[in-house]
């Protein structure tokens, strides 16, 4: 696990965007795993800028989103379908048929989930998975206790997550859908590269547990310690609970030139 600490979310997002851009230039048919939430927004803004100003071409890229609320159709303003159009897809040249997001209105959840896994496999697997982290350590919507072997499936959101996400639903946790479809932890771990972003002091404890705590289903993101290429891009406030923050900064400053992104 490589921990990269930047002063600001913007700096971290620029580093993350450079990693995505390099992949897309080297492999125009790259398969990206995408996340929602506030955290990836500066990264998405930077990708849009790279597309507009530097011609970064997404025309052959395929994407799979991590999750979607059950019961919200693609037109719902709080659906992740809407989020992705608003913040990314409407601003890139990625064909709509290349983008995949779990269907929150599917009449047959298990069949949909099996098919989502099949589509990921048929696309060749995910090259780079972008992740945020919940304050309870969830990735996607894999709440504490989720199996490390889990695949795409229905999950019930934890109360903490309902409260965290109530800000998008008139500050009323009861209005947040209680169920979702999410890629499983096994699905996420199959990605060839994983890039987790976290900003702000509210994520500091989850980040410390993920990076330096025991690997435990009680903090699902901690499984990323077992991922061969996981990178953790955080700002200084999110790094405050890390015991080895100085070492991670030292490692980054001393990276050989050929290893830099």
Nearest distance from C-beta of residue 138 to ligand GLP, angstroms? 6
- Cα gap 114→209, rounded to integer Å: 31
Give yes or no: 143 in active site. Answer: yes
Q: Which is nearer to ligand GLP, 46 or 56 (CB)?
A: 46
Indicate the residue whose CB is closest to ligand GLP: 132
Q: Which is nearer to ligand GLP, 56 or 81 (CB)?
A: 81
Nearest distance from C-beta of residue 27 to ligand GLP, angstroms? 24
Catalytic residue among 46, 67, 68, 103: 67
- Cα gap 175→165, rounded to integer Å: 10
Q: 10 Å Cβ neighbour count for 191?
A: 24
Q: Which is nearer to ligand GLP, 56 or 152 (CB)?
A: 152
Q: Which is nearer to ligand GLP, 56 or 190 (CB)?
A: 190
Nearest distance from C-beta of residue 54 to ligand GLP, angstroms? 26
Q: Which is nearer to ligand GLP, 33 or 117 (CB)?
A: 33
Sheet of strand 179-182: strand arrangement: 67-69, 179-182, 153-156
58: exposed, middle or buried (Cβ count in 10 Å: 0-12, 13-18, 19+) = buried
Catalytic residue among 51, 81, 138, 227: 138
Which residues in this chain contact ligand GLP in the complex, by CB under 6 A? Answer: 35-39, 66-67, 132-134, 140-141, 161, 165
- Alpha carbon of 141 to those of 18, 61, 65: distances in Å? 26, 24, 12
Residues 6+ apart with CB under 8 A from 79: 68, 69, 72, 73, 104
Nearest distance from C-beta of residue 204 to ligand GLP, angstroms? 13
Give yes or no: 67 in active site. Answer: yes
Nearest distance from C-beta of residue 93 to ligand GLP, angstroms? 25
Residues 6+ apart with CB under 8 A from 128: 19, 20, 23, 30, 31, 32, 33, 191, 192, 193, 194, 195
Catalytic residue among 46, 103, 117, 136: 136
Catalytic residue among 46, 143, 190, 235: 143
Taking each continuous run of H as one helix and of E as one strand, the counts in the chain are 8, 10
Active-site residue set: 67, 136, 138, 143
């Amino acid at each position: 696990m490589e921990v990269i600490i930047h002063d600001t979310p913007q700096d971290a997002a620029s580093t993350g965007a450079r990693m995505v851009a390099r992949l897309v230039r080297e492999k125009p048919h790259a398969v990206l795993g995408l996340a929602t939430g506030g955290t990836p927004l500066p990264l998405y803004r930077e990708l849009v800028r790279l597309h507009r100003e530097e011609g970064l071409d997404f025309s052959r890229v395929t994407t799979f989103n991590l999750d979607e609320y059950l019961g919200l159709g693609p037109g719902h303003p709080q659906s992740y379908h809407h989020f992705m159009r608003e913040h990314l897809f409407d601003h890139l040249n990625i064909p709509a048929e290349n983008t995949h997001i779990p269907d929150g209105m599917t009449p047959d959840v298990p069949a949909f989930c099996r098919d989502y896994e099949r589509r990921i496999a048929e696309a060749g697997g995910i090259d780079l998975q972008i992740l945020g982290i919940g304050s309870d350590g969830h990735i996607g919507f894999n709440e504490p206790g989720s199996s490390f072997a889990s695949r795409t499936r229905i999950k019930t959101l934890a109360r903490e997550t309902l409260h965290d996400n109530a800000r998008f639903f008139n500050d009323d946790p009861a209005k947040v859908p209680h169920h979702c479809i999410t890629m499983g932890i096994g699905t996420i771990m199959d990605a060839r590269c994983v890039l987790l972003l976290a900003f702000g002091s509210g994520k500091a404890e989850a980040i410390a547990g993920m990076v330096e705590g025991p690997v435990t289903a009680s903090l699902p993101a901690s499984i990323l310690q077992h991922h061969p290429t996981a990178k953790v891009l955080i700002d200084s406030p999110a790094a405050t609970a890390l015991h080895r923050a100085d070492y991670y900064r030292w490692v980054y400053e001393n990276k050989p030139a050929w290893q830099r992104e």
